Amino acid sequence: MHTKVRALASLAIAIVSFAARANAQHPAMPPGMTHDQHLAQLKKDADLKKRGGLAMGFDQDKTTHHFRLSSSGGAIEVGINDPADGASREQIRVHLAEIAAEFTRGVFDTPSATHGEVPPGVRTMQRRKNAIAYAYENTPDGGRVRITTPDRQARSAVHEFLRYQIREHATGDPLTVAKD
């Protein structure tokens, strides 16, 4: 009798474990999306994650991105998911310090490599680079690049760029401008 109970319990645990792994590997299909669209989105997400890891130099699954819009511009924030992951924290900090320096020079190769295309807003940000300031700072979990500009056209481009990042990385961050 105990053997049957243990066998059933083991089977139940195996089924729950399998279902959890299957769900983690293949998220539920959003309402209104066809199966083919869902598969295409999953491939796009996997490609973004792979390209992002190569371009940014850290594991995308070990980190969380946030993109904030503000009345003066916005911010790019990346933090570690595990407080004990000092290696990823350092990789984030190196990457974001490099991003701030590259963006200041009008170089947006990393976001283009990550997304496989030039993100919206980049061309204007390149043309208006002298009107935009990029400041890197450490955060407890990683780092942040603050983007500020008094120039309305540049700020519009920054917001377009950040909104694209929010959608592509599916961060769930607000698409509206927050007060500074």
Neighbours of 104 (CB within 10 A): 15
Q: pTM for the full model?
A: 0.72
Q: Assign residue 172 a region (left: φ > 0; alpha: ψ between -120 and 50; beta: otherwise).
A: left
Q: In whole angstroms, what separates CA 26 from the centre of its chain?
A: 19
The percentage of the chain sitting over the pLDDT mark of 90, rounded to a whole number, equals 55
Cβ atoms < 10 Å from Cβ of 61: 10
Cα-based distances in Å from 5 to 10, 12, 13: 8, 10, 12
Q: Residue 169 has which token pair?
A: 């990385």
List the domain boundaries for the chain: 59-175
Q: What is the pLDDT of residues 39-80, one digit of tens each?
A: 555 554 555 555 445 445 567 789 999 999 999 999 999 999
What value does the mean pLDDT take over residues 110-125?
A: 83
Q: Is 67 helix (H, G, I), strand (E, B) or coil?
A: strand
Q: Give CA–CA dist 143/11, Å, rounded.
A: 45
